[in-house]
Structure 1
Amino acid sequence: MGPKKCEVCDDAQSKYKCPACLVPYCSLACFKKHKETPCAKPEPLKEEISHKSPDASHSAIEHPTAAKKEEKPCYVGERREVLQESQLRSVAASNEIRDAIKDEKLQKLICNIDSSTDPDNELDKAMEDETFLLFTEKILSTIGK
């Protein structure tokens, strides 16, 4: 699955997907243009219907010193990468994860990934850090993966 073209301007390579309908787009300007027309979530796949999985609610970990800014669009490469609401609740309720996220080094690594123009590369770098690696293992253990 290679890079996709922006379905709004039909010119640039898309970097994001609409969180509601998953249409690929390349920029904030294209996202705003896309949102001028109401969109809806695509129909669930047959596999999802059989599991009757609830819609995943989106939550974010906010850096304590981060200024309020416009919400960053959500990009999901594969629908199976989206956590179910129950999994998100488990992560939010975990004292172990809540304690880990207090670590300033971990907060910085997460902020670097979130604010990067190349988050995949930044994630690869973060995975080399023992603190981040342990954090991801705690999350995966909590969500049952």
Structure 2
Amino acid sequence: MASLNSKTVVCVICLEKPKYRCPLCRVPYCSVTCFQKHKEQCNPEVRPVENRRTVAPVNTEPEDNKGESATLRSLLLNPHLRQLMVNLDQGDDKAQLMKACMQEPLFVEFADCCLGIVEPSHNRDS
């Protein structure tokens, strides 16, 4: 995972600059309050994707979405991604939160996977 000094790493609860990492799942958080909220849903068996620089290619065959669905299910098991989506859903400034989320390679991978499932013809053309 990127260092806590990276500009793209944000607290999994409030999306502020983190100072710490969860000792169990290693997601970033910024305060005791945020850690307590995170701890309620922490799953130490599912660790965030470490230092992913590229987005995995999505299957380009529109008839076979099974692989994409398995990839999507796998991504949704990630507690960091789940927390990003909860924060986005519950946040007041959706545009700002979405901008922050799109700086996270894991969120971009999730978005690309979803698009590959709902718009398979788009993948065929590219």
Structure with more contact order per residue of length (Cα contacts < 8 Å, sep ≥ 6): 2
Q: Pick the structure with greater CA Rg.
A: 1
For normalisation by structure 1, the TM-score amounts to 0.36
For normalisation by structure 2, the TM-score amounts to 0.41
